[in-house]
Amino acid sequence: MTIQIEQQLAKLKNSYTEDELESFVRLSDRWLRKNDNATFEAWADAMILQTLSLIDEEEPYWTFVAAHIYLEKLYDQFATRRGVSPKDVYQEFPAHLAHYTEAGLYHESLTTKYNEQELQQLASYLEPSRDELFTYIGLKTLMDRYVVRDYTKTPVELPQERWMVIAMTLMQDETENRLEKVREAYWAMSNLYMTVATPTLSNAGKTHGQLSSCFIDTVDDSLQSIYDTNTDVATLSKYGGGIGVYMGKIRSRGSSIKGFKGASSGVLPWIKQLNNTAVSVDQLGQRQGAIAVYLDVWHKDVFTFLDLRLNNGDERLRAHDIFTGLCLPDLFMETVEARGEWHLFDPHEVREVMGFSLEDFYDETKGNGSFRTKYAACIANPLLSREVVPAIDIMKRIMRSQLETGVPFMFYRDEVNRMNPNKHEGMIYSSNLCTEIFQNMSATEFESITLEDDVIVTRRKPGDFVVCNLSSINLGRAVPANVLERLIPIQVRMLDNVIALNTIPVKQAERTNLRYRGIGLGTFGWHHLLALKEIQWESDEAVEFADKLYEDIAYLTIRASNALASEKGAYP
């Protein structure tokens, strides 16, 4: 047995009781008898597999045993690369930053915006013991997908260094008590009280990628807009964003083009084009592109749309890698309930005959408003072609699709627009990949393309191209630790700095991000928290607890946002 294996066994015995480790020690002894000259790394790999096999609901702590063994293996590997002992791997942080910035793996701002003294100070804030908070799968996921890797794809960054680099990146332009803000952000992440969004976790401090989570574009009913959107979607997908695309303005199958009747192929070919983009433009191999497409429930192509992801039928009518979302007015749900008839229209024909776009309206109050008025006018106009189907048939198709594929997502447009704090500036047509973000949307308009001084210049009038900047509170850790009042202000500041720092390769999205400065502070771990509090899921007590907890979170978030507005100015 090597000294490293002996030391690791001794460490584990200090952390767990003899009874807890009894089966593990037996497994280790049996393996060592068969492998006399085993290296520490081979023993660690074997013991991780054995340990994971012991996890069950009675003994969940084995995940932490596996994580501890994996950590020691990481420290051993990094110590060899850094030329130090395993216990000193974190002391090399400033040198590590300098070396990999020079190698082009870190952004130069980490070493130009922080001087040597500050870097030493930040290194002293690192808490290696917080690595032990991870479960095995959490640690493995972080190391496999998010830490910085060199050009041979070997990880060169440890967990606490990833948290510190994110904190340094997000706080780099703070003017007052900057190091203290870095320390607070590091405290929040390293204690697993919160998580930043995937693009921030993946890309902060690196030389490539952007920091925002999701984007939503509105496609106009023109070939130019369709292809411009596809290019923008591909660009954003490359840089790590999830995409929502509203296609409700595009004419339906059989609609006219330049007066020629029956010429349009509808939304299907353009959705399939986006499907190919999602598959082919991945995020530097870290994850496949992810795109959600939204359509209105009154659009003539709705049945084709609902069948897009089914696993049977004509493959030419399928797009298996796209997520679908359906935009539903209150009136549709009322019609389903009343078992009434629902009229499907072509949005292009509505614009031509009626002089307005039906999708531009919503019911300003429950049971009354402009959408139902305009929809009734469309029904009453005999010049408009339409398909008339029982509303319940559409609902059945929705439920069938959800049962088989998990989609479509349901987007209740009337309620969303009634609650829109920026309704004076625009309209919300749909949502994003996760149906959690609601901001004003409008299509970017092509104006001209000219040749100026032997340079091709394209002019487009930017629309509201939605950007969402996300972060989540880990309820199972933050609430029991009673840290929400300290956590949320630093989290809101981090989110706001994502907006300030981010360079988005699609300019209309960058403009919208700076105009609206939309942030989403969410939560995860609700079931975990209920278990810790011994509150039964879906009980009245759970509902009451949620009501109080989320009121507190909302209040603290709004208060933190208000304080930032006083300090840095309100959003435009």
Q: Which residues are identified as catalytic?
A: 432, 434, 436
3-state secondary structure 323-371: EEEEEECHHHHHHHHCCCEEEEECHHHHHHHHCCCHHHCCCCECCECHH
* Cα 167 to the center of its chain, rounded Å: 19
Residue 58 main-chain phi, psi, to 5 deg: -80, -30
Closest CA to 386 of 332, 331, 349, 432: 349
Are 303 and 397 within 8 A, CB to CB? yes
Give the integer Cα–Cα distance in Å for 28 and 395: 57
Contacts of 9 (CB under 8 A, 6+ apart): 25, 28
E strands, 371-508, are 387-390, 409-412, 445-452, 455-461, 466-474
Cβ burial, residue 425 (10 Å; 0-12/13-18/19+): middle
Q: What is the 3-state secondary structure (H, E, C) of 268-309?
A: HHHHHHHHHHHHHCCCCCCCCCCEEEEEECCECCHHHHHCCC
Phi, psi torsion values for 388, nearest 5 degrees: -115, 120
Work out whether the CA dihedral 512, 514, 515, 518 comes out positive or negative.
Answer: positive
Q: Is residue 541 a contact partner of residue 535, using CB atoms and an 8 Å limit? A: yes
**The Cα angle at residue 58 between residues 52 and 60, in degrees rounded to 5:** 40
> Is 357 exposed, middle or buried, given 0-12, 13-18 or 19+ CB atoms closer than 10 A?
middle
Q: How far apart are CA 323 and CA 331, in angstroms?
A: 24
DSSP state string for 88-121: GGGGGHHHHHHHHHHTTSB-THHHHSS-HHHHHH
Task: Say whether 423 sits in a helix, a strand or coil.
Answer: helix
Q: Reduced to 3 states, what is the DSSP secondary structure of residue 429?
A: coil
CA distances from 73 to 35, 68, 148, 448 (A): 18, 9, 18, 59
Query: Does the N-terminal peptide bond of residue 408 adopt cis geometry, omega within 30 degrees of 0?
Result: yes
Residue 339, sorted as left (phi over 0), alpha (psi -120 to 50) or beta, turns out to be: left
Say how far apart CA 476 and CA 193 lie, in whole Å: 8
> Which residues share a beta bridge with 459?
448
